[in-house]
Amino acid sequence: MWDLAFFQRPYSNKQISKLAACQNIPSPVTTWVDYDDNLLEVPEDNPGGVIYTNKETRNAVINCIKYAKLLTVSTQQLADQLQKYRIPGSRKIKVIKNYMPLDISPAGPPTRTDKFRIFWRGSQTHDADWDFHLQDIVEWAKNKNAELVTVGYIPHHVVRTFRENGMNVVKYPIMEMMDYMLLMASGNLADVGVYPLVNNEFNQAK
């Protein structure tokens, strides 16, 4: 029999059934649940909203939070948001911060150019964040001889807006996480990173 059962971002009744099974056997198995997002506050404009705003899914997430013997999250804000769903007397939520090992490969010399390089990496889940902040970012950047550097997905209208304002856009293809970390360790890709976020409960938990 196992010593520990680990569940990452559980959200379904099937996962709840497995979690309950681990704890309702003669020799119970300790259950560990981990979240790096508040799945109870996914905004409707997020592509995942259609899943996580479903009542059945919400109940499954709440029960996973409630009954996990160990619950870990990526930020203190997320811990504070989820604590109200824990059973009184259960173990305190443990924060394990996001971490990217920057020493996985010796960093090469900085890849400087004559541009002020602005870096962004994300997914379709951040379209609403871009929509909210795009004009402010462009206004801030366009007088700095800037260019936008991205990895993977970038909204088409963001690329178009930067180019219409006289700024170049450098697009690296989508890649596996290890390749991305090696790319980041290979040299200085940009001068500053921008991470536009709408001010809501979901983003505050990040």
Confidence of residue 101 (pLDDT cuts 50, 70, 90): low
Q: What are 35-77's pLDDT values in tens digits?
A: 999 999 999 889 999 999 999 999 999 999 999 999 999 999 9
Residue 108 has pLDDT above 70, yes or no: no
DSSP letter string, the chain: --SEEEEES--SHHHHHHHHHHHSSSSPPEEEEEESS-TTS--TTSTTHHHHTSHHHHHHHHHHHHH-SEEEESSHHHHHHHGGGSPTTSPPPEE------TTSS--------SSEEEEEE--GGGHHHHHHHHHHHHHHHTTTTEEEEEES---HHHHHHHHHTT-EEEEEPP--HHHHHHHHHTS---SEE-----SSHHHHT-
The answer to whether residue 137 scores a pLDDT higher than 70 is yes
Q: Work out the pLDDT band at 105, boundaries 50, 70, 90.
A: low
Q: What is the pLDDT of residue 177?
A: 85
pTM: 0.83
Averaged pLDDT score across all residues of the chain: 91
Q: What pLDDT does 181 receive?
A: 81
What is the mean pLDDT of the segment spanning 2-7? Answer: 92
109 pLDDT more than 70: no
Mean pLDDT on 154-161: 96
Tell whether the model's pLDDT for residue 106 goes beyond 60.
no
User: Is pLDDT at 113 greater than 90 in this prediction?
Assistant: no
- Which pLDDT band, with edges at 50, 70 and 90, does 180 fall under? confident
Q: How sure is the predictor about 165, in pLDDT bands with cuts at 50, 70 and 90?
A: very high
Give the pLDDT score at 107.
55
